[in-house]
Structure 1
Amino acid sequence: MKCQILQFRSILLLILLVPLCGQPKVSVDLGMGFYEPTMKGFDKNDLVAFPTGNFITRNILFNFSTYYEFFHNARIGYNVLKSVDIGRLEGFETSKPVFYRTISYRMFPLETFFRLKPKTELNFTLTPIWGRGRITLETKPASSENGEGHTITDDWNELLNSFGDENPLSQVASENGMRSDWFGYSGMLGYRYYIRPWIGIDFKMGFLNNNYNKKRWRFQGKKVNGPEMKIDDIPIFSLKVVYALK
């Protein structure tokens, strides 16, 4: 009798585990996004010569995301699209600081999907956006002959003045990055093709709407002006590879 009970429990456990193992619930996605923001604060700045914008630094978004299928036709996840720029700034008095700029669009999507065929699906995504911009300077100003060298504080004041901030900094501490956060939302329509049950190609198109304000940047606890950018109500496209995990 005990042996039969153990056999029954084993069979029941196997029945419960097979559906869980048969369909992948978790996926990791890697790819790129494409959009066309207007970055007037960098591209049309009369006071500071920022690195010349190109297709990679202006239009490409590096994409990473992960999803969990909590229902038979719905997923939730975390998705980040990031724009990166780096180069030396020209036109400073005695220094050429290295400039880093990142813009991250962090999303928490809810995605519904419909299987057209075993290997193809249509999906629709709605998501809030928690955006973050960050600008960093790495500078080692050269000293002048009279001993009055151009300081890191001077470099930051030149940068902020170019963004229209006329309230100078008195001193810059070791932390040398300015940051801004904002919220927004996005909607996307996508098409996915599964090459194998565990790998697929996903293409999406939609829009980004960000509530960005150039006056909401902070530097070492102080409110400062940032670059003028238009990143609201703009089309976006993404192409990524989907890896399903069991």
Structure 2
Amino acid sequence: MESLLLRTVPGLAEQWRGASPSTIEKVERIAGRPLPPFYRWFLGHMGQSMGPLAYPTLDFSAERVLACYAQALVKPDPRFLLIAYESDEMMPLHLFYDFKAPVRNDAMVTSREARGKELTDAFETLREMLAWGALSLFRIDRAPHTCSGSLKGDTPDFLMNLDPVMSSLGFDQPIPTGPFCRLYERPDAVMVCMGTPRAGTGNRRAFDLGGNNPGSLRRILGELASARVVEIQMKKQA
């Protein structure tokens, strides 16, 4: 994960700042359980500042998390831990870890109002959320040519069927992902796939693809279609 972020996000190494061990311990005491290993890594590297990876209205800093609990904006809960404060007053959906859904040394990221009960799941792990965001913002959005759409498979874990095809096209998977997410990269192109956990999206996932050459993008999608591992529905091309 560290290697992916440092090579993808310009200036990150100079601008990210981690929270102090004592601050991280305070967050863990509020959680009432050991923090997921990935979240501990995140706080140790970006718990004070995410640098250019920062979200416009979401504050992931450990100090903000602690302040929200100190001000009783959020109450301690054995299932949920606030990990990002949303400053948009029109839709104040803060991000929480759902400890009822731990996975791969991490946990599901869901959103809700500070004391609300209705959940809107975001990503199966914080790791996937950050990696997906970095590749989307700093690779795909800046690519000369992009396209997007949806993929449909026969089973909920159909994304795994893409792996050998993408590998044959020279793509690597920078981090391990689950059935709702796939990240593929090579020097001239990037593809990200994402579905929402627990939302009843079935066997369909959204995708974005970006690269230097429109012919390369057509070949990638053509190979996936020829392999018949997914059904592709295009949404837009640029």
TM-score (norm 2): 0.23
- Structure with greater contact order relative to length (CA < 8 Å, sep ≥ 6): 1
TM-score normalised according to structure 1 size: 0.23
Rg comparison, structure with higher value: 1
Q: Which has the higher strand share?
A: 1
